Amino acid sequence: MAHILVVEDEEILAKNLADALRYAGHEVTLFHAAEAALDRLDETAPDLVLLDLRLPGMTGLELLTTWRGRGSRVPAIIMTAHGNIETAVEAIKAGADDFLTKPIDLKELGLVVGKTLDHQRVVDNLDYFKNRERSTSGVATLLGTSGAMEEIRAKVLRLARSTAIAGEHPPSVLITGETGTGKDLLARAIHYEGPRSGASFVHVNCTAVPDELFEAELFGHVKGAFTSAQSNKKGLMEIADGGTIFFDEIGHMKPSLQAKLLTALEHRTIRPVGGTKERQVNVHVISATNRDLDAAIAGGEFRRDLYHRLRVVPIEMPPLRGRGEDVELLAQFFLDRYRARFGSLAQRLSDGAMDALRAHDWPGNVRELSHMMESVVLMSDAPVIEPHHLPLKTARIGATLEVELHPSSQRISVDFDSGNPVLEDLEYKVLKAALEYSGNNLSRAARMLGVTRDAIRYRINRYEEEHAGGGAAGGGESSPS
């Protein structure tokens, strides 16, 4: 239960209050003067304060004002005589959460204390989730050491420092990029690094809301506006007032809605469906799309004027295939995340697995890599992830090389997986094939290859000395066709 601090100078009333609260399971600390309570507030760390307004010396209102001035957010219930309601209202304005009139009804006391504590728990939970969202949605989530990602993070921080974001006409941001590149993460980073981070971030998936409901979802509606409108409802733009609204996949918004959105953005007002009054909104608009909007404009599917309204600050998220140095970092990050989540033994990726990941072209970008690491962790018990553990759908680039020599049409196969020096193997096999074709005529073989006799002799002897005892051509076989 809660720790409650009671400040009441009437000793009998104070004892009765303390007994009733302890009977309800609370811990109680009792003070008879405001000065003593003021000195001990931080030390006692209460969950709630029950405070009499009329106290000897410093009054309860002065005590409350001083606490709030020091930044204390501990909920407070003030107690006042029945005929002094004006003072109670003044105390509410000064930061009290509720009030009780004397004589105190103990049943009412329990109800008011319970309601205040429940409300504070909701506030604390909201603060927790907001802080957690802020800590997990900032610029640090934009992982990567590539130049492209360094540039993206620099743009986010530059926007965050701009006073224009907090103003009445914040510049709109348009994020473009392929599916799975992290456009949603970028939008959240812009919000949570900026001056609107304490307000709402509203994510609108333009492909998930049915067209016939989109206007009501975006602007709200009044009761009776349509058959299912049983009550007034705020729209998403009004909910985002003071914060950020993120239009994901805005390239798929139907043209009739584009016109209404443009009007709302230009005038910073919305009108609920079925309503007659416009409402002012102050929102930072961030949009994202994987669609080529220039092509959509040319095809008459997207409004050019809306495009320019949304594209005040353009940012393009780079595809993963262009961020080769980031693949290893991201792969290990996702591996660690899912290993912790599912209790897997997988610790790291082998060099071969990393090579396979770097060779993949990542059509699904970072989202594909995340899902792949999740699959690997779920399906493998190996502490080290090898290439065969990776669910790569693309075929491997040939592990062998076939070289056909003319005019003999002799074919040489070089195995890249043999572990031997491939270039040395290939050179040796070409030299030996030339000698075989020339009937071991060194001069003729030299003319065929465009080198000297000594060069052929030196290179063959060097290779055979280095590979003595292990077979001269361990990387593959030569055979006439």
Tell me which of 141 and 402 has the higher pLDDT.
Answer: 141
Average pLDDT over residues 374-386: 89
The CATH number assigned to the domain holding 364 equals 1.10.8.60
Averaged confidence pLDDT in the chain: 84
One domain, residues 189 and 117: no
Q: Within 13 A of 102's CA, how many CA atoms are on the CB side?
A: 17
Distance, in Å, from the CA atom of 225 to the CA atom of 76, rounded to the nearest integer, reads 42
Residue 343 inside a domain? The answer is yes
Q: pTM for this one? A: 0.58
Is the peptide bond preceding residue 171 cis, with omega within 30 degrees of 0? no
Is the peptide bond preceding residue 387 cis, with omega within 30 degrees of 0? no
- The backbone region for 75, taken as left when phi is positive above 0, alpha when psi lies in -120 to 50, beta otherwise, is beta
Q: Which two tokens stand for residue 112?
A: 């008011």
Report residue 104: phi and psi, to 5°: -75, 125
pLDDT digits (tens, 9 = 90+) for 62-96: 888 888 887 778 899 988 876 566 777 787 888 88
- pLDDT score, position 309: 95
- Is residue 198 predicted with pLDDT exceeding 80? yes
The count of domains in the chain is: 4
One domain, residues 243 and 147: yes
The 10 Å CB-count burial string (b at 16+, else e) for 166-178 is eeeebebbbbbbb
pLDDT digits (tens, 9 = 90+) for 221-265: 888 777 777 777 888 999 999 999 999 999 999 888 899 999 999
Residue 394 inside a domain? The answer is no
Residue 336 inside a domain? The answer is yes
One domain, residues 147 and 45: no
The CATH number assigned to the domain holding 13 equals 3.40.50.2300
Among the ranges 123-137, 140-154, 199-213, 403-417, which has the highest mean pLDDT value? Answer: 140-154
The CATH number assigned to the domain holding 251 equals 3.40.50.300
Distance, in Å, from the CA atom of 291 to the CA atom of 183, rounded to the nearest integer, reads 13
Report residue 279: phi and psi, to 5°: -125, 135
The 10 Å CB-count burial string (b at 16+, else e) for 314-340 is ebebbbbeebeebbbebbeebbeebbe
Contacts of 102 by beta carbon, 8 Å cutoff, 6+ apart: 13, 79, 80, 81, 82
One domain, residues 152 and 247: yes
One domain, residues 119 and 145: no
pLDDT band at 475; cut points 50, 70, 90: very low
Residue 170 inside a domain? The answer is yes
Distance, in Å, from the CA atom of 156 to the CA atom of 31, rounded to the nearest integer, reads 51
One domain, residues 10 and 25: yes
- pLDDT score, position 69: 82
pLDDT band at 308; cut points 50, 70, 90: very high
Q: Which domain holds residue 158?
A: 141-316
One domain, residues 42 and 156: no
The CATH number assigned to the domain holding 435 equals 1.10.10.60
Least Cα distance to 251 among 212, 294, 219, 283 occurs for: 294
One domain, residues 157 and 275: yes
Average pLDDT over residues 97-113: 88
pLDDT band at 479; cut points 50, 70, 90: very low
Average pLDDT over residues 435-448: 84
Burial class, 94, CB count within 10 angstroms (exposed 0-12 / middle 13-18 / buried 19+):
middle
Average pLDDT over residues 302-309: 95
pLDDT digits (tens, 9 = 90+) for 111-157: 999 898 888 877 765 554 555 555 556 788 899 999 999 999 999 99
- C-alpha distance across the termini of the chain, in Å: 88
Average pLDDT over residues 161-175: 92
One domain, residues 195 and 119: no
Where helices occur in 438-481 by DSSP H, the ranges are 442-449, 453-466
Q: Within 13 A of 393's CA, how many CA atoms are on the CB side?
A: 7
Contacts of 292 by beta carbon, 8 Å cutoff, 6+ apart: none
pLDDT band at 397; cut points 50, 70, 90: very low
Contact between 329 and 144 under an 8 Å Cβ cutoff? The reply is yes
Question: What is the DSSP annotation of 133-174?
Answer: HHHTSSGGGS---SHHHHHHHHHHHHHHH-GGGGSSSPPPEE
Q: How many residues does the chain have?
A: 481
Residue 136 inside a domain? The answer is no
Least Cα distance to 184 among 304, 288, 60 occurs for: 288
One domain, residues 311 and 324: no
CA 278 from centroid of its chain's CA atoms: 34
One domain, residues 127 and 145: no
One domain, residues 280 and 185: yes
Where helices occur in 324-451 by DSSP H, the ranges are 324-342, 351-359, 365-379, 422-437, 442-449
Residue 475 inside a domain? The answer is yes
Contact between 174 and 251 under an 8 Å Cβ cutoff? The reply is no
- pLDDT score, position 86: 76
Tell me which of 403 and 192 has the higher pLDDT.
Answer: 192
Question: What is the DSSP annotation of 361-376?
Answer: --TTHHHHHHHHHHHH
Residue 395 inside a domain? The answer is no
Contacts of 272 by beta carbon, 8 Å cutoff, 6+ apart: 216, 219, 220, 221, 222, 225, 232, 233, 235, 279
